[in-house]
């Protein structure tokens, strides 16, 4: 008989699979109304006990009713074991409902496993969690996508703090009412799109463009928290300390996205005048603005960049090969540095990690292509001193040089301490030159498992 099928099912679940069968679990598994599931469980218990009174079957019940406590009439809802059922029922003044909650073979010490069972089955059925419930709500309909975007824009507009209207002069600045200065719908969509994308757990590349504009400050303000290491092979070469964007396209995006996602609460400020929280010194502000612009440009021209990279790679490769032979730097080599990498190097020495990422690609790729170099390279922290012509001062920098001793060879990656002394942009031109020279000394050795990424990278790229 069809009705008997559920009895067999329950029997199988309880006896053979040794499960805890709660009414909810049964309801989802068999696809029946919750009340029917409860009745099924009751029926099974009754029949089983009639057949075999010694059956090893433990039942928990749900009891609900009114209880007088502290002068209030409380409504109590409790899950009790069978042996405590009558005691609970007697405590309640009126009983509103009694039904079977679960059946299991073993005696339960506490109600933890019941919760776990329910949690698991609900988790797997989240999309239709009210399907077998006894109450239907007509108002509970998912929002249409039009409404969703409307909500997003209204939230975005309402919560924005335009930096350009910091002054009290703005009429609604008492904090009442949404701001009148709205971002273009594009930007909110970009940001919200990103959040929605995260929810869908698939970052969309289409959001790249808008994202690029929108997340200048968080993106560029070099986040000291590094994004989790991606399952990116290249990443592994640089080890954990490195935040690497070896592939400009995907990796550059991903860490930024991660950062965004990791910090959803970071207010998305406008690029122009956003007070970049990380950049503290006033002098750096202009630089950060420039960086942002550069970043913007770089992000926008991602495709171009990658092309450039490819082009440059063989160039540098050549150069690096040249340098390896020379072993030590000549000043003449400095002049050889092509102007094309210069724009990148003009980047301000704002906190290193972010810029460091981009430029590591070059050394990395060159190394990869360089392939089997026999010589070993070691990175050593050294102080390098040189005269800064612009400022007319001697500059001492701690720099990671890859030294080639008898066993190891030079490669150069400079890591600058974050409190870089160089504020103005101009001296950077000289600086990068030198560093460039140093970097070019050998092929990139960065492509080793334990090598640290150097700040050098960021002078090289772009």
Partner 1 sequence: MFSEQATPTAQGLLAPPSAEASTFTRVPVSAYADCSQPFRLGERSFSRQYAHIYAARLIEMRPILEERARQKWGNSVALRKLCELRAGEKCCVVGTLFKAMQLQPSILQEISEEHNLVPQPPLPKYIHPSDELILEDELQRIKLEGAVEVQRLVTGTIFAVYGSEQDDGKFLVEDHCFADLPRPLPWNGPSSDRFVLLVSGLGLGSGSGESLLSTQLLVDVVTGQLGAEGEQSCAAQISRVILAGNLLSQNTQSRDTINKAKYLTKKTQAASVEAVKMLDEILLQLCTSVPVDVMPGEFDPTNYTLPQQPLHHCMLPLASAYSTLQLVTNPYQADVDGIRFLGTSGQNVSDIFKYSSMDDYLEILEWTLLAGHISPTAPDTLGCYPFYKSDPFILTDCPHVYFCGNAPRFQSKLLKGEHGQQVLLVTVPAFSTTQTACLINLRNLSCQPIIFSGFGTEDDDGDMEVGH
Q: Among residue numbers 61 through 80, which ones bind partner 1 (CB under 8 A)?
A: 62, 64-67, 69, 72-80
Least gap, CB of 372 to partner 1 (angstroms): 33
Nearer to partner 1 (CB atom), residue 130 or residue 396 = 130
- Of 40, 243, 348, 443, the residue at the interface with partner 1 (CB under 8 A) is 40
CA distances from 93 to 60, 65, 73, 141, 159 (A): 21, 7, 9, 39, 51
Nearer to partner 1 (CB atom), residue 130 or residue 204 = 130
Q: Which of residues 73-112 bind partner 1 (CB under 8 A)?
A: 73-81, 84, 87, 91, 94-100, 108-112
118 is a contact residue toward partner 1 (CB under 8 A) = yes
Using alpha carbons, select from 426, 164, 388 the residue that is nearest to residue 290.
Answer: 426
Q: Please, what sign has the CA dihedral across residues 304, 309, 311, 316?
A: positive
- Of 103, 192, 220, 243, the residue at the interface with partner 1 (CB under 8 A) is 192
Using alpha carbons, select from 427, 441, 436, 438 the residue that is nearest to residue 462.
Answer: 436
Q: Which stretch binds partner 1 (CB under 8 A): 141-149, 244-252, 405-413, 433-441?
A: 141-149
Assess contact for 119 and 22: CB atoms under 8 A: no
Assess contact for 405 and 384: CB atoms under 8 A: no
Give the contact letters, 311-340, x = binds to partner 1 (CB under 8 A), - = no: ------------------------------
Least gap, CB of 378 to partner 1 (angstroms): 23
Q: Which of residues 255-284 bind partner 1 (CB under 8 A)?
A: 264-265
185 is a contact residue toward partner 1 (CB under 8 A) = no
149 is a contact residue toward partner 1 (CB under 8 A) = no
Kindly state the number of chain residues that form the binding site for partner 1, as judged by CB under 8 A: 102
36 is a contact residue toward partner 1 (CB under 8 A) = yes
Nearer to partner 1 (CB atom), residue 161 or residue 340 = 161
Nearer to partner 1 (CB atom), residue 175 or residue 339 = 175
Give the contact letters, 236-255, x = binds to partner 1 (CB under 8 A), - = no: ----x---------------
Alpha helices in 215-281 (DSSP H): 216-220, 233-238, 248-262
Which tokens is 293 given?
């612009």
Nearer to partner 1 (CB atom), residue 75 or residue 318 = 75
Q: Tell me whether strands 408-409 and 376-388 are parallel, antiparallel or unpaired.
A: parallel
Using alpha carbons, select from 413, 381, 412 the residue that is nearest to residue 396.
Answer: 381
Using alpha carbons, select from 357, 352, 355, 349 the residue that is nearest to residue 229.
Answer: 357
Long-range contacts of residues 5-8, Cβ cutoff 8 Å, at least 24 apart: 6/30, 6/32, 6/40, 6/44, 7/40, 7/43, 7/44, 7/47
The enclosing H or E element of 22 equals: strand 21-22
- Of 18, 56, 150, 159, the residue at the interface with partner 1 (CB under 8 A) is 159
Residue 167: DSSP 8-state:
S
Least gap, CB of 40 to partner 1 (angstroms): 5
Q: Which of residues 199-238 bind partner 1 (CB under 8 A)?
A: 199, 226, 228
């Amino acid at each position: 008989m069809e009705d008997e099928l559920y009895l067999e099912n329950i029997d199988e679940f309880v006896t053979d699979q040794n499960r805890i069968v709660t009414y909810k679990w049964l309801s989802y598994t068999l696809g029946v109304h919750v009340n029917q599931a409860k009745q099924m469980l009751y029926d099974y218990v009754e029949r089983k006990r009639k057949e075999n009174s010694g059956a090893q079957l433990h039942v928990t019940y749900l009891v609900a009713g009114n209880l007088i406590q502290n002068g209030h009439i409380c409504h109590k809802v409790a899950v009790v074991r069978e042996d405590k059922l009558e005691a609970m029922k007697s405590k309640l003044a009126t009983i509103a409902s009694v039904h079977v909650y679960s059946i299991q073979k073993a005696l339960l010490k506490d109600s933890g496993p019941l919760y776990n069972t329910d949690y698991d089955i609900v988790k797997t059925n989240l999309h239709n969690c009210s399907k077998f419930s006894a109450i239907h709500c007509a108002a509970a309909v998912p929002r249409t996508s039009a409404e969703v975007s409307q909500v997003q824009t209204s939230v975005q507009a309402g919560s924005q703090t335009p930096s350009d209207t910091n002054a009290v002069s703005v009429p609604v600045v008492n904090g009442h009412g949404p701001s009148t200065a709205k971002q273009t719908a594009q930007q909110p969509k970009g940001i919200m799109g990103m959040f929605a994308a995260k929810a869908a757990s698939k970052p969309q590349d289409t959001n790249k463009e808008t994202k690029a504009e929108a997340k200048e400050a968080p993106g560029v303000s070099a986040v000291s928290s590094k994004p989790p290491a991606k399952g990116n092979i290249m990443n592994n070469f640089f080890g954990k300390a490195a935040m690497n964007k070896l592939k400009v396209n995907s990796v550059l995006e991903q860490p930024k996205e991660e950062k965004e996602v990791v910090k959803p609460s970071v207010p998305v400020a406008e690029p122009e005048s956003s007070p970049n929280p990380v950049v503290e010194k006033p002098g750096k502000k202009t630089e950060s603005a420039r960086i942002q612009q550069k970043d913007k440009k770089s992000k926008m021209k991602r495709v171009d960049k990658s092309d450039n990279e490819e082009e440059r790679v063989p160039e540098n490769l050549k150069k690096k090969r040249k340098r390896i032979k020379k072993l030590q730097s000549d000043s003449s080599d400095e002049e050889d540095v092509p102007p094309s990498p210069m724009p990148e190097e003009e980047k301000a020495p704002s906190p290193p990690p972010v810029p460091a990422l981009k430029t590591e690609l070059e050394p990395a790729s060159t190394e990869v292509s360089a392939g089997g170099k026999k010589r070993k390279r070691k990175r050593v922290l050294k102080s390098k001193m040189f005269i800064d012509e612009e400022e007319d001062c001697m500059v001492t920098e701690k720099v990671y040089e890859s030294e080639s001793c008898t066993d190891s060879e030079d490669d150069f990656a400079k890591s600058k301490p974050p409190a870089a002394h160089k504020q103005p942009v101009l001296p950077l031109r000289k600086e990068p030159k030198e560093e460039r020279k140093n970097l070019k000394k050998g092929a990139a050795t960065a492509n080793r498992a334990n090598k640290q990424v150097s700040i050098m990278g960021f002078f090289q790229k772009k």
